[in-house]
Structure 1
Amino acid sequence: MDDEPAPTAAPTGPPLAGLLGVLREEPGLLGALGRRSTVLVLPDAARAAALAGLTALSRRRPIVVAVPTVAEAERLAGDLNAFLPQDAVELFPSWETLPFERVSPSIETMGRRLRV
C-alpha cells in the first residue's frame, strides 16, 4: 500500500466560486434582495464579491449593473468571472461614437449590443 495521497482533480469552474456559499449568509446582501431596485455603496474590492453573492441568492434575471466608464465595466466583468461562470457575465458595449457624429457604430458593436 502506498502512503501517498491520491491525486485530486483540478477544480473546474471559476476560481472563487466556492466563496458564494459564504456570501449567501451575508446580512447586507440578504437585506438587498427583497427590493425592486437597490443601491449598494461598496469599496471597489468588494463589488464583484457582493454582485456575485446577489446573483447566487436571487432568481431574478437579468441583474443589471451600471458603472461610469468602459474601463470600469471591463474590470468589473473580469472580476465577476472569478466568481461566476463565463457565460453568466455580459458586457454591454458602448456605442463608441458621439450622438452628434454622422458615423454609425461598427457592425460588431451593434451585434454585441443586440445579443446582450
Structure 2
Amino acid sequence: MFYYKRSDNDINSGVGFLVNKNIKDNSGDRIAQIIIQLSEMYRLQIIQVYAPTTNHDEEEVIEDYEEVYKLMEEEKTHFKIVMGDFNAQVGKKEDAKETSVGNLGYKKRNERGDLLIDFAEANK
C-alpha cells in the first residue's frame, strides 16, 4: 500500500510510505508516521519528514521540528527512526561534543543544518 499526502495548495510538499496493506499511517503534507508492531513487546515508529525549503519562513521550519518532537513523545515505542529531507546542510562535525555528525560531511553547515544538529543532539 502506498500512503501519500501532500498539500492541495503546495506542489513542493508531500511525504509517504510504501508498506504492507495491514499497516496504517498518520500523515500530514510534510510529516508522516507509521507504527509497526515488531513483536509482542516491541514497536517501531518511523517518522518521515519533508521540511520546507529555504524559501519558507524559519517559523514554519521550527513548527515542523516541534511536530516531529510531539509525535516522538506521544508514541511510546522501543525503536524510533526519524528520516527524510530536512532541507539542511550539516557539513562535518564542528565540535567534539557533537555525537550525531561525523567528520566526513559535505559543504559547510547552514542555519537549517544547525537546527537539525540541535534537534538530533537534544533527542539523542
Structure 1 length-normalised TM: 0.31
Which structure has the larger Rg over C-alpha atoms? 1
More helix per residue: 1
Greater relative contact order (CA < 8 Å, ≥ 6 in sequence): 1
Structure 2 length-normalised TM: 0.30
